[in-house]
Structure 1
Amino acid sequence: QRLKNYFYLPYDQPCMHEFVLSGKDGKMKEVRTLDIAKRLLDFGFHPPTIYFPLIVKEALMIEPTETECKETLDAFASAMIQIRKEIEENPSAVKEAPHNLSIGRLDEVKACRELKLRW
């Protein structure tokens, strides 16, 4: 409920344990859902499923497990609200995330063109 004031909530009714937000509205032209997911890493959260379901543009499917405590869910909501504020005030902070990890953002095009299939 806290997030619906900051992100578009296409389905405003409970459905099992997950919910879907859209990372796209008129004020978020520069930032993609992928950028939001990468920024969540800086807050210590595993990024949600993105771009699914396909019927929601820039979808973020949030699926907290049943073992998550209320404090963790509140911290996640606070992180999402902070990210939304950053999108409006300093979008480059979100577009260039993650910042706090040992490895930053990968070049996705290069990774697709130069596959490394050994480990």
Structure 2
Amino acid sequence: MPGVRERGAPVPPTAKAAFAALLAVAGMLMLWVWTGAPGWALGGCALLAAVVLRYAVPRPALPHAELHGGPLDGHRVPALPPPGRTVVLRGPDGTRIRYRRDGSGRLRHVAPPR
């Protein structure tokens, strides 16, 4: 629609938490400047170190699998079922959609029985 701005992707919760923590660091350092109490500086530096360790240090990613076929084609799921097991997922309209791992490790859509 003309005149309507499209919204971007939502901000992930980790970015919101890091932003809030860094705002708290800035506030603690300002309190240190205003009061001269070293506890505010130590607390701010400790919180800054915690944020850096939590968000800047890379961690191993969880295994993901891409769905092939069916209404959820192209979506990624965070867990891999064992080979031969069927995964039942909810579709956008609330229907149950079944996927099964094939020999190559991909999750393929299993058509409902007729």
Give the TM-score range, shorter chain: under 0.3
Structure 1 length-normalised TM? 0.23
* Greater C-alpha Rg: 2
Q: Greater share of strand residues, 1 or 2?
A: 2
Structure 2 length-normalised TM? 0.23
